[in-house]
Amino acid sequence: MSTLAGKKAVILGLANDRSIAWGIAQALRAAGAELAFNYLGESLERRVRPLAESLGASIIEPCDVSSDEQIASFFGKVKEKWGGIDILIHSVAFANKTDLSGRFVDTTRDGFRLALDVSAFSLVATAREAEKLMDPAKGGTVITLTYYGSEKVMPGYNVMGVAKAALEASVRYLAHDLGPKKIRVHAISAGPIKTLAAAGGISNFRDFLGQIEQRAPLHENVSPEDVGSLAAYLCQDGARHMTGNVLYVDSGFNIMGA
């Protein structure tokens, strides 16, 4: 069943084979999509290129989303090679490690700016580029990744929680702007998954995984593949009347009050 046959998807945020972007890439590819990837810096290029090539990717180019020039040059190359796109996956976040422990009240201006720039504004900047490459007759899909720490306090998530709140609000405003062009915008709120961005020195990460097993209705942790299934669903025609949502892949954790 090739529900995404002939669709062209840009995937931002692949780092390695544990990345959520990898689960999404595999699901989109399995549904028949053609894939383009970015990488951040040369050391990640060595990891990203073989993974991307194994899924037959035709475009693998650098893009640091904190740079307008790199965003322009990346999407310029996509336009050159493909002419247009149908799907944008935004799976990128960054904050200073020092801002992901201790007290949120101690966040510096620069730390706040960095987290919001890379983790929230980058969706706006890349959605704007995607809009130019999407055909308003066919429409398109933009998907970003978020976390429940945007809504409720998760100790240590700190400035990233504030960035995710801005990201989720951006999804709604983008959905309003891009709706007339049949471009649908969503955030997938994933439960904790042990990726580079999660293992990277977060001391009590295992406690968050344990909480899902103990307290979530489904008592099981989620995987990048679970997120990929929903992303593939949202990109196909059957989801054409959905936009602006935050959808949970968290074993139901978010519904619990105690």
Q: Per CB under 6 A, does 143 bind ligand NAD?
A: no
SS3 state at 38: strand
What is the crossing angle of helices 68-82 and 122-133, to 10°? 20
Q: Per CB under 6 A, does 95 bind ligand IMJ?
A: yes
Q: Where in the chain does DSSP place strands (E)? A: 8-12, 34-39, 59-62, 87-90, 140-146, 183-190, 246-249
Q: Specify burial of residue 44 (Cβ count, 10 A radius: 0-12, 13-18, 19+).
A: middle
Q: Exposed e or buried b for every residue in 60-73, given b needs 16+ CB within 10 A?
A: bbbbbbbeeebbee
Catalytically active residues are 147, 157
How many C-beta neighbours within 10 Å does residue 49 have? Answer: 14
Q: Per CB under 6 A, does 30 bind ligand NAD?
A: no
The residue among 120 and 133 lying less far from ligand NAD, judged by its C-beta, is: 120
157 makes contact, choosing from ligand IMJ, ligand NAD, none, with CB < 5 to 8 Å by partner type, with ligand IMJ
Count of residues that bind ligand IMJ according to CB under 6 A: 16
Considering only residues 183 through 212, tell me which ones interact with ligand NAD, judged by CB under 6 A: 190, 192-193, 195-198
Q: End-to-end alpha-carbon separation of the chain, Å?
A: 41
What is the smallest separation between the CB atom of 136 and ligand NAD, expressed in angstroms?
A: 28
> 12: closest CA among 43, 39, 30?
39
Considering only residues 153 through 212, tell me which ones interact with ligand IMJ, judged by CB under 6 A: 154, 156-157, 160, 192, 197-198, 200, 202, 208
What is the smallest separation between the CB atom of 180 and ligand NAD, expressed in angstroms?
A: 27
SS3 state at 36: strand
19 makes contact, choosing from ligand IMJ, ligand NAD, none, with CB < 5 to 8 Å by partner type, with ligand NAD
What DSSP line would sit under 160-206, residue for residue? Answer: HHHHHHHHHHHHHHHHHHHGGGTEEEEEEEEPP--SHHHHSS-TTHH
166 makes contact, choosing from ligand NAD, ligand IMJ, none, with CB < 5 to 8 Å by partner type, with none
The residue among 61 and 135 lying less far from ligand NAD, judged by its C-beta, is: 61
Which stretches of the chain bind ligand IMJ, using CB under 6 A? 93-95, 97, 100, 147, 154, 156-157, 160, 192, 197-198, 200, 202, 208
Which stretches of the chain bind ligand NAD, using CB under 6 A? 13-15, 19-21, 40, 44, 63-66, 91-94, 118, 145-147, 190, 192-193, 195-198
